[in-house]
Amino acid sequence: DPNIFAIATGIEEHNNYAVEFIEGTRWIKQNLPHALISGGVSNVSFSFRGNEPVREAIHSVFLNHTVAAGMDMGIVNAGQLVLVDDIPAELREAVEDIVLNRRPDGTDRMLEIAEKYRGTGTGEAKSTMDMSWRELPVNERLAHSLVKGIDTFVLEDAEEARMAAARPLHVIEGPLMDGMNIVGDLFGAGKMFLPQVVKSARVMKKAVAHLMPFMEAEAMATVKGDVHDIGKNIVGVVLQCNGFEIVDLGVMVPTQKILDTAIAEKCDIIGLSGLITPSLDEMVTVASEMQRQGFTLPLMIGGATTSKLHTALKIAPMYQQPVVHVLDASRAVGVAASLLGANKAAYAAQITEEYEALVARRKANQAEDKRVSLPEARANKQLLDFSTYTPTAPQTPGITVFEDYPLEDLVACIDWTPFFQSWQLFGKYPDILTDNVVGTEAQKLFDDAQKMLKT
């Protein structure tokens, strides 16, 4: 099961990941002829999450090459694969370019056409670029440049903003950060891709370079036991592009090496990353060691298996300094700036209050969860006698299709408990609506959902 990593992320080192998997597969078949090879195919297209037509094209082209190289099983939704010959010629060529890393500008060319194939897979490119945004106030022009990844005018706009601001830093913390926050919202909603985030960050870097960078140092590492580093690398690029100096320790980093490096490099923040579940325990270890050794640096937590709730429950209590969970790469700049800015004490207090509320809510839910002991549960098991049991036959075998079923009649069948859980409101419906802790917010959310169902 060789690793399949995302390509076309905007980071040059990632461009050859698909080629390396194909070549690795071919090598395994030649040197270990009895070995069978599998791979998680969807990873390769992660940069374009939210654009399913493009992802499907990438999967099909990638599979076309990997199967030819000898891969036996690809882990992918087979119902969402398309025939390679059915992919539009323009899209197929662009996908082949990034899968085979045939040209250095492959990612940029892919981004240029990707939006045409979002949703219906059809679309017409604009024949002329809309320049009306140049008539906006300078702060809005800077934000627009960041969101769209346009660096053509960023120097002159940054200079104009600098002349109007009391300090150059105010331009960074104002319009530039406003733009990056928009980028973060779009990325979080799946409306921007990783390479676009990196492109926006590079526009930010160009502006910051003109404004005397706000230089701080941060040590970053993927914790011991975890070999994944794509997310960490992207965070590093985004932070570097925003004027932060990054000390990247790589992957599988022992706790003491992280702490020793933070001291030696005089870092202002420590960032921990992890993709797999064992990483969570290692992060707790790092936090407890930071407390034991008297560290005062803020600690940033990120990675696919991490969450705000886990950070509040398990990591933050181990370390009496600020510990902040960062949702994704695009949020890292805002968090880091807040941890080091003039209002860092207020920000830390806000985070502490937010996390304490999360912990209290979790404990309240757990207190209501009354469980019996394991022996009691086993003694209460259902006794089944299949020798005397005859399954009930369905009245209508096969699939029954309701061609014209009124949707409003289905509302009463909705299980609202998972809906509330997805919004981090824990409790069973309908009791959650009168819950002492989350009842008010749950009722508001429920009312909004009812309005949406009616429209």
pLDDT at 284: 94
User: Is residue 258 packed enough to be buried (19+ CB in 10 Å), middle (13-18) or exposed (0-12)?
Assistant: buried
Which is nearest to 331 in space by CA: 220, 231, 192, 183?
183
Pairing mode, strands 269-273 and 244-248? unpaired
pLDDT at 212: 56
Which residue in 47, 144, 157, 226 is the catalytic one? 226
CATH classification (class only), 12-116 = alpha beta
Q: Is 45 a catalytic residue?
A: no
Rounded CA separation 162/197 (Å): 24
* Residue 177 pLDDT exceeds 70: yes
Tokens of 299: 């600690």
Q: Domain ranges for the chain, please list them.
A: 12-116, 135-214, 229-364, 407-454
* Residue 408 pLDDT exceeds 50: yes
Q: Is 226 a catalytic residue?
A: yes
Rounded CA separation 77/100 (Å): 22
- Lowest model confidence (mean pLDDT) among 133-142, 207-216, 290-299: 207-216
Rounded CA separation 358/348 (Å): 15
The secondary structure of residue 206, as a DSSP letter, is H
| Tens-digit pLDDT profile for residues 362-399 | 887 776 667 788 999 999 998 888 888 888 998 889 99
pLDDT at 226: 53
Q: Do the Cβ atoms of 187 and 234 come closer than 8 Å? A: no
* Residue 418 pLDDT exceeds 60: yes
Q: Which CATH architecture has domain 135-214?
A: Orthogonal Bundle (1.10)
Q: Is 228 a catalytic residue?
A: yes
CATH 1.10.288.10 fits 407-454, yes or no: yes
| Tens-digit pLDDT profile for residues 302-319 | 887 789 999 999 999 999
Q: How many percent of the chain have pLDDT more than 90?
A: 39
- Lowest model confidence (mean pLDDT) among 138-152, 157-171, 201-215, 285-299: 201-215
Dihedral sign, Cα of residue 313, residue 315, residue 320, residue 324: negative
Which residue in 60, 145, 200, 279 is the catalytic one? 279
The predicted model scores a pTM of 0.48
229-364 CATH fold: Rossmann fold (3.40.50)
**Residue 187 is which amino acid?**
F
Same-fold call for 12-116 versus 229-364:
no
User: Is residue 371 packed enough to be buried (19+ CB in 10 Å), middle (13-18) or exposed (0-12)?
Assistant: exposed
